[in-house]
Structures are given as structure tokens and as C-alpha cells.
Chain A
Amino acid sequence: MKLLRLLIEEEAPATLPYTTEARWPAITILPTRRTWELLYLLTLRDLKLRYQDTVFGLLWSLMKPLALGAVLYVALSQFVRLDVEDYQLVLLSALFPWVWFQTSALLATSSFAGNGALLKKVPFPRFVLPFSTILNSGFHFLLSIPVLIIVLAIDGRHPNATWIVGVPLLATVQLALLMGLILITASIDVYFRDLEHLVEVFLSLLFYVTPIFYPLSLVPEKWQPVLKLNPLTSLIEAWRDLFMNNQLPGLDLWPALLFTAGALVAGALTFRRLEPGFADAL
């Protein structure tokens, strides 16, 4: 009898079913009001932090993409002599949304792994960490829109009412796309830190196979379908159409929409499965 009890005690922990479900705040499908407030505070904090103690502050968010744009402009329209009408507009109207995508993906992928101390000590809805990074970069993107308007105005183009619908619409799609993708990468990154570097490499490749410094129309017919498989292609082209031609996105956006839906589902599933182990893995 005593032996039997000993045996049961030895076996017990491994076989007991998991039952603690009453209070596990970290996984929340429907964010509460407090979650939004936390997101707001974190985003605000990171906005303050990003360029703290710099002379130019927020201006850096404009100068960095503008510098890249200027170099690309000179190299491609002067040296390579790419023959595209209004090339500076073609370039900038795609470059700004791309920079949002790139910086978010780069920074947010390590947002769980880089916040070990917090994840190990404080219970809170964890997805606010990558989400606030994405929102923060998105805010910098919004700041760059006035610059774009100025550049457009120099060329005699002016935004109209379509922007009021178009900008929030495309920004929402991009936000959702980023959120889905980053929930996957950031969750896996906790267990496999090499992913941060893989993402970095992947992003620099993605830059070339997305119509950013060239319009899709310039790509030979036979390659266009291949490029269209890239969900960013339709999204970037939609931004460009909106900014340059005041045109609302139409059915052409479907690859991005489809991919966004897929990324959100995959991201939510990955996060839900891996999240309970974050505090233990860090």
C-alpha cells in the first residue's frame, strides 16, 4: 500500500491534467479597455524614447527615408537613367509606406525576446509590445505624409477627398498585415533568436522584389504575375495610386487582403500556442 502511494506520488505531476484557466490574463482574444490604454501609454513612451536626446528628434523619421529616396533618385534616374515620368513621386509614394513596414518588422520581431525582464515579472496582455512598436512606426509614417503632399504639390498634384477614405483604409490593411506577420516572427523569436537576423536579410531582399523604386508597369509582362504573388506588391501599388492619382484601392488589392487575413489567423494561432512559455524561455 505504501509502495503504491509512493508510485502515485512519483507519477502524479506528469499526469495531472492542466486546469488553471480561471485567471490567465496574458491570452486575451478580445482586448479590454485597459489593454488599449496600455497600448496607448506604451506607444506614447516609445515615441518619446526613439529620438530622445537627439537634436533633430522626430525629424529623423523624415530625413532617413528622404535621404534614401534622394540617393535612389540620383542613382536610378540619373546614372541608370530609368525612364519613368515623375520618378521622384513614384519613388517616395512607395518608399514611405515601405519604411513603415520595414522598421516595424525589424523592431517588433524582437519585442518579446528583448523584453524578458518585463515578461518574466509582470502579467499583462503581451501582444501590446509588438503592437505598440508597429503603431509607433505607423505614427512616423503618418508624419511623413505632409512631406509627401509638399513634394506632390511641387509637381502640381493635390490630394483630394479620396485620401480621407484611402489613407485609413490602406493603413488598416498594412497594420493588420504587420500585426499578423509579427505575431508569428516575434513569438518564434523568443525560442529561436536567429530569426531576428533572418528577418533582416529577408527584408533587404524583399525591397528588391517589391515595386518600390520601380513601378509595376515597368516590369516585363511575363514577370508581373510572379511579382503579384508578393502581397506587398498590391499594397504598395495601392499606396502609390492613392498618393499620385488620388485613386482608391480596388479589386487589385485582393492579394494583400487575402494574405493579411491568412497572416492574422496564423499569427494569432502561433502566439496563442507559444505565449504561455514566454516567461519560461527567456
Chain B
Amino acid sequence: MLSNEVALSGEALSKRYMLRAGGAQQLKAAVRTLPAMLLKREAHHSFWALQDISFTVRRGESFGIAGPNGSGKSTLLRVLGAVTKPTSGTLTTNGRVSTLLDLGAGFHPQITGRENALLNAVLLGLSLREAREVLPQIIEFSELGEFIDQPMRMYSSGMYVRLGFAVAVHVQPEILVLDEVLAVGDAEFQSKCFGHMQRLRESGVTVVFASHDLPSLQRYTDRMMLLEHGRTVLEGRPAEVIHSYLTRVFGPTAKAGAR
């Protein structure tokens, strides 16, 4: 249910990455930057992955992020998911955030899906008891059947996704942050995931997701933001943003297709 309560807001978020010199320069770089970092000084080479991004997402809203490769989508999601700190700006979150930036980031191939699911659920924010309670639901959602007790190195990438997504949606997030992760699953599972996301949203969960899959973005988000070179280009209703994005990419000829 959409409410006026703010679930997530960013104000003038910026992220600067330090560029590292490789090879022989590594020692020089380390000698130069380490004391600087320890003393909290500025380093030299850097580039801005995000610049001055501001947005507000209300509780229960589904917020999409689109943009070409290297536009800053993943960096923004990392900032939202508290994996990395913004260089400047303010991020305010109101509720438990569950981050699914990569499937199976916390999975270890040598242990079983069941063991991984439990560990992952705790990694993502549940207590051990909650994780144990919700484990049967995770397993059921993943539809992995008897494979759940096999080491994960036997899994296909689709099975990884299933378990990864199953864990992520069962950690009772209040804010779910997803990076392009559903693309690997088959159509049936994808639709199941979107269906589940829909239900989560109806129960008040806020969803932020980045994708290159424009039709899904259009279908499942209430509002979208278009990033380019680390800056917000456009924010608004999905149809408008996507239209403008396509126009930018393909030039006026895309629009001219209707001529």
C-alpha cells in the first residue's frame, strides 16, 4: 500500500572511487595512499561514479533505476544497500533493508543449498532462530526439491538464482534492493518472483530495482529514474522515462518509426 511515509531517501548522494595504479606502481601507490587513508587525507586519482543524486521513495513504492552500463546503477544500489559509503550526501532509510546485488555472493559452492540458505539468511539480516523458522519456506519457494541437500557446485546458474532470490524475499525486508538479478531465471520463475514482489509491495514492502529489462521495469515499477554518467537525467513515470531513454539511445529515428 502506498503511503506518504518515506522509506528511503537520498540527498545529494555522491560517490568517488579512487583509481589505483597497477603493477610496479602498486607499492608506490600503497606507500602514498595508506598513510593518507590512515590520517584521513585525500588521495590523488579519482573519478566520480555518482554525482549529486537525490530521490525519495515512499513506503510500498516500487522504484526502478535504468541507465546504460557504467551509468552508476550498481554503485547507487551499493550505496543504498550499505555495502559502500557515499563520499558525500545523506542517505536515510526507514526499515530493514535486504540487499540482493548479486546472486550467491554469500554462497559457498562446497556446502549444500540448505546450509547456504541458512547462512545467507543470517548474513542478510535475520537472527539464527528466525532463519531456522523461515528455512522451510525458502526451500519451498526455491523449488529445488532434493537438490537442496546437494553441494551448490552442482547447481546451474538458474538454481543459484532461485535460492538466492528465495532467501532475499524471505528475510522479511521492509526495503528490498535488487540489482539485475532475475535475468538468469527462467520465465516461469521470473513471473513467480515478480508475483511475489507484488505481494510484498501490497504488504508495504518498498522495492528498489535496477535493470536493463525495460518491459519489466515498465510493468513492475511505479516510478523510475534514469542515470547517465553518474547523474540523474530524468525521473518520473516509467513509460515516460523509458520512452525518453529509448529516444536518447536510438536517436529521433526510434520515434520516427511510427511515421
Establish whether residues B78 and A120, one from each chain, have CB atoms under 8 Å apart when the complex forms: yes
Smallest Cβ-Cβ distance to A39: which chain B residue: B122
Task: List the one stretch of A17-25, A94-102, A105-113, A175-183 in contact with chain B.
Answer: A17-25
1/0 per residue, CB under 8 A from A, across B76-92: the answer is 00100111111111111
Does residue A222 face the partner (Cβ distance < 8 Å to B)? no
Establish whether residues B99 and A191, one from each chain, have CB atoms under 8 Å apart when the complex forms: no
- Number of chain B residues close to chain A: CB under 8 A: 50
1/0 per residue, CB under 8 A from B, across A1-44: the answer is 00000000100111111111011111000000110011011100
Given contacts A41-B122, A117-B102, A188-B34, contact A20 B111 (CB under 8 A): no
CB distance from A186 to the nearest CB of B (A): 14
CB distance from A73 to the nearest CB of B (A): 36
Residues B85-111 near A (CB distance < 8 A):
85-93, 97, 99, 101-102, 105-106, 108, 110-111
What is the size category of the interface that chain A forms with chain B? 35 or more
Does residue B127 face the partner (Cβ distance < 8 Å to A)? yes
Task: For B86, list chain A residues within 8 Å (CB).
Answer: 18, 20
Does residue A118 face the partner (Cβ distance < 8 Å to B)? yes
Given contacts A18-B87, A49-B111, contact A117 B105 (CB under 8 A): yes
- The answer, among B14, B37, B83, B122, for a CB contact under 8 Å with A38, is B122
- The answer, among A20, A117, A274, A276, for a CB contact under 8 Å with B91, is A20
Establish whether residues A191 and B33, one from each chain, have CB atoms under 8 Å apart when the complex forms: yes
Complex CA distance for A117 and B37, rounded to whole angstroms:
23
Establish whether residues B83 and A20, one from each chain, have CB atoms under 8 Å apart when the complex forms: no
**Which of B37, B86, B126 has the most C-beta atoms of chain A within 10 angstroms of its own C-beta?**
B37
Smallest Cβ-Cβ distance to B97: which chain A residue: A23
Establish whether residues A16 and B12, one from each chain, have CB atoms under 8 Å apart when the complex forms: yes
Task: For B26, list chain A residues within 8 Å (CB).
Answer: 192, 194
Does residue A197 face the partner (Cβ distance < 8 Å to B)? no
Smallest Cβ-Cβ distance to A13: which chain B residue: B14
Does residue A122 face the partner (Cβ distance < 8 Å to B)? yes
Smallest Cβ-Cβ distance to A21: which chain B residue: B90
Establish whether residues A23 and B91, one from each chain, have CB atoms under 8 Å apart when the complex forms: yes
Task: For A18, list chain B residues within 8 Å (CB).
Answer: 85-88
Establish whether residues B84 and A279, one from each chain, have CB atoms under 8 Å apart when the complex forms: yes
Does residue B2 face the partner (Cβ distance < 8 Å to A)? no
Establish whether residues B37 and A122, one from each chain, have CB atoms under 8 Å apart when the complex forms: no
Interface SS majority for chain A? helix
Establish whether residues A123 and B88, one from each chain, have CB atoms under 8 Å apart when the complex forms: no
Task: For B37, list chain A residues within 8 Å (CB).
Answer: 191, 273-274, 277
Task: For B30, list chain A residues within 8 Å (CB).
Answer: 191-192, 194
Establish whether residues B52 and A122, one from each chain, have CB atoms under 8 Å apart when the complex forms: no
Establish whether residues B128 and A41, one from each chain, have CB atoms under 8 Å apart when the complex forms: yes
CB distance from A94 to the nearest CB of B (A): 33
Smallest Cβ-Cβ distance to B96: which chain A residue: A23
**Which of A17, A33, A118 has the most C-beta atoms of chain B within 10 angstroms of its own C-beta?**
A118
Does residue A64 face the partner (Cβ distance < 8 Å to B)? no
Complex CA distance for A273 and B18, rounded to whole angstroms:
16
Given contacts A12-B52, A123-B83, A279-B78, contact A22 B14 (CB under 8 A): no
Task: For B83, list chain A residues within 8 Å (CB).
Answer: 119-123, 279
Complex CA distance for A254 and B171, rounded to whole angstroms:
47
Does residue B38 face the partner (Cβ distance < 8 Å to A)? yes
CB distance from A99 to the nearest CB of B (A): 24
Establish whether residues B92 and A22, one from each chain, have CB atoms under 8 Å apart when the complex forms: yes
Complex CA distance for A281 and B127, rounded to whole angstroms:
29
Complex CA distance for A124 and B78, rounded to whole angstroms:
13
Does residue B48 face the partner (Cβ distance < 8 Å to A)? yes
Task: For A19, list chain B residues within 8 Å (CB).
Answer: 88-90
Does residue B200 face the partner (Cβ distance < 8 Å to A)? no
CB distance from B103 to the nearest CB of A (A): 9
8 CB < 8 A contacts A-B: A13-B51, A34-B125, A45-B119, A122-B83, A123-B82, A191-B33, A279-B84, A280-B18
A residues with a Cβ closer than 8 A to B are 9, 12-20, 22-26, 33-34, 37-38, 40-42, 45, 48-49, 52, 117-124, 188, 191-192, 194, 270, 273-274, 276-277, 279-281
